[in-house]
Amino acid sequence: MKTLHVTTPFTQLKLYFSDSALVELDFEVETDPDSKPVTGLMQLAQRQLQAYAQSASEQLDLPLEPAGTVFQQRVWEVLRAIPVGRVRTYGDIARELGSSARAVGNACRANPIPLFIPCHRVVAKSGIGGFAGQTAGRELAIKTALLRHEGVEIPLLDPM
C-alpha cells in the first residue's frame, strides 16, 4: 500500500492508496516532509486537498475503496450525498435507512476515509456530536474547523 502525507490548515493527513483508489485516511500530528505523490491518483488527491483548503466548494472526488460492512457502506453513500455547507443529523440518516441513530453514529466512527466520505457533516440533534469516535479534543476541533470552512454556523441550530 502506498502512503502520502499532506498538510492542510485543518490537520496533518496520512492517506493510504491501493493501486486504484484511496482506501484510508488518518489524522496525525506529524507528517513525513519527504512524502511525495508517486502515482497520478496520489497527485490528484494532493491537488484536491489543496484546492479544498482554499475553497470549500472544491470537490473531493477520488475513487474510493472503503472497507466496511454492507450497512456501513449504505451509511457512507448517504454521507457522500450531503452537500458542502449542509449537515444532517444521525437521526435523519437513521430514518432514511430504517435504522437507529446509534448505528449511524457507529458507521460514522468506522469511516476509514473521513473528508472524502464527509462524516463531519453529520451532527447530533442537539449540537455538533462527535467525530472520529471522540466527543472532545483534537478530533472535535477538526470537525468544527471543517464545518466552519464549509460555511456552517457553529453552534449548529438548523441542520439540513
SS3 assignment, position 78? helix
Q: Is 108 a catalytic residue?
A: no
Distance CA 127, CA 156 (A): 6
- DSSP for 35-74, please give it: ----SHHHHHHHHHHHHHHH-TTS-----B-----HHHHH
Burial class (CB in 10 A: 0-12, 13-18, 19+), 69: exposed
Distance CA 122, CA 134 (A): 13
- The answer to whether 14 touches 50, Cβ cutoff 8 Å, is no
Could you say which of 13, 62, 87, 119 is catalytic?
119
Q: Name residue 28's beta-bridge partners.
A: 12
Residues annotated catalytic, as ranges: 119
